[in-house]
Amino acid sequence: MDLWLDLLNSDWHDYRGSGRREDRLDDPAWLGKYLARWSDGLRGVPAADVRSVLKDLRSVLRAVVDRLAAGKSVPQSLWTRLNALLAACPVVRRVGRTPRGYAVDYVPLVSGLKKVTAEIAESFCASLAADGASRIKVCENKDCLWVFYDQSKNRSRRWCEGDTGCGNMMKVRRFRARKAR
């Protein structure tokens, strides 16, 4: 899954409607797995600082996603914040040989939290640039609000997890509501 999707969905809601909510950034085990790819660069950084920075990034990304999913324009202030996160971790381009030919690598010039947040922000921006906003969606189950990337051919998914999660549950709820009439 994309880095940005994992971060956004770390604010978990019980999709069944109990009202239970869990911030997985506060769970050391979940956070450790999420940050495993950057563990060397985050040594010595207090966990509270990491959580605070990631929660701030999550709120920026969520504000952008919510506006895009609702078909609204995104204020320039949010784009400015995203661009600042990207700019905080400049990169050097380097060409190298691969088994299939050549490739350009992007080597970050900084490490630590700036690198982490820039990579997460870049993963979001790359998804946005690849197919535009029409594939970034919020589950229509009002109890869920999970963010997902719609990979369906006609971009018509309305719920997360297809027929095994909210989609199936919402269809069953509609069916039962019709039968009750």
Q: Report the pLDDT averaged over residues 17-36.
A: 90
Does residue 60 register a pLDDT over 70? yes
Residue 165 to residue 47: CA distance in whole angstroms: 32
pLDDT at residue 101 in the model: 95
Mean pLDDT of 112-117: 95
Higher-scoring residue by pLDDT: 13, 3: 3
Q: What is residue 132's predicted lDDT score, i.e. its pLDDT?
A: 72
Q: Which residue has the higher pLDDT, 161 or 136?
A: 136
pTM: 0.84
Whole-angstrom Cα distance, residue 104 to residue 92?
Answer: 10
pLDDT digits (tens, 9 = 90+) for 64-87: 999 999 999 999 999 999 999 999
Of the candidate ranges 36-50, 133-147, 152-166, the one whose mean pLDDT is the lowest: 152-166
Does residue 164 surpass a pLDDT of 70? no
Query: Looking at residue 118, what is its pLDDT?
Result: 96
Highest mean pLDDT among 54-58, 137-141, 151-155: 54-58
Q: Which of 11-15, 17-21, 163-167 has the highest mean pLDDT?
A: 11-15
Higher pLDDT, 159 or 92: 92
Distance CA 113, CA 120 (A): 11
> Which domains, from first to last, does the chain contain?
3-87+114-180 (1.10.3300.10)
Which amino acid is located at 174 in the chain?
R
Q: Is the pLDDT of residue 145 over 80?
A: yes
Task: Tell me: pLDDT of 162 over 60.
Answer: no
**pLDDT interval class at 163 (50, 70, 90):** very low
Over the chain, what HEC string results? CCHHHHHHCCEEECCCCCCCEEEHHHCHHHHHHHCHHHHHHHCCCCHHHHHHHHHHHHHHHHHHHHHHHCCCCCCHHHHHHHHHHHHCCCEEEEEEEECCEEEEEEEECCCCHHHHHHHHHHHHHHHHHHHCHHHEEECCCCCCCCEEECCCCCCCCCCCCHHHCHHHHHHHHHHHHHHHC
